[in-house]
Amino acid sequence: MSERTEVAGGADPFVTAAVLAAVARLEEERAALAAHSPKRPSQGRWVLSGRPRDVAPPIVRPAPAADGWSIASEETETNEV
């Protein structure tokens, strides 16, 4: 398969060869880009909203020390009697 290309404008053989080399290079690059599959589309916000996500652990408050703390204090016990 031979294609015949003609460069108009009175170009000498060296300029013609340079133009054809540039066109051949562009065709090679186009063919190389076409050989790769297109980039996978990114998922939209609607799709991502239904995906599981990391959940932060609940906030843990420190418990008071056992000494000095109780549910009933001495004051409430004396007032109730």
With a cut of 80, say whether residue 62 has pLDDT above it.
no
Q: How confident is the model at residue 72 (pLDDT cuts 50, 70, 90)?
A: low
More confident residue, 54 or 3: 54
Tell me the DSSP string of the chain.
--------SS--HHHHHHHHHHHHHHHHHHHHHHHSPPPPPPP-HHHHHTS----PPPP-PPPPPSTT--SS-HHHHHHH-
**Percent of the chain, pLDDT > 90?**
20
Q: Could you tell me the pTM of the whole model? A: 0.42
With a cut of 90, say whether residue 31 has pLDDT above it.
yes
What is the arithmetic mean of pLDDT over 2-14? 79
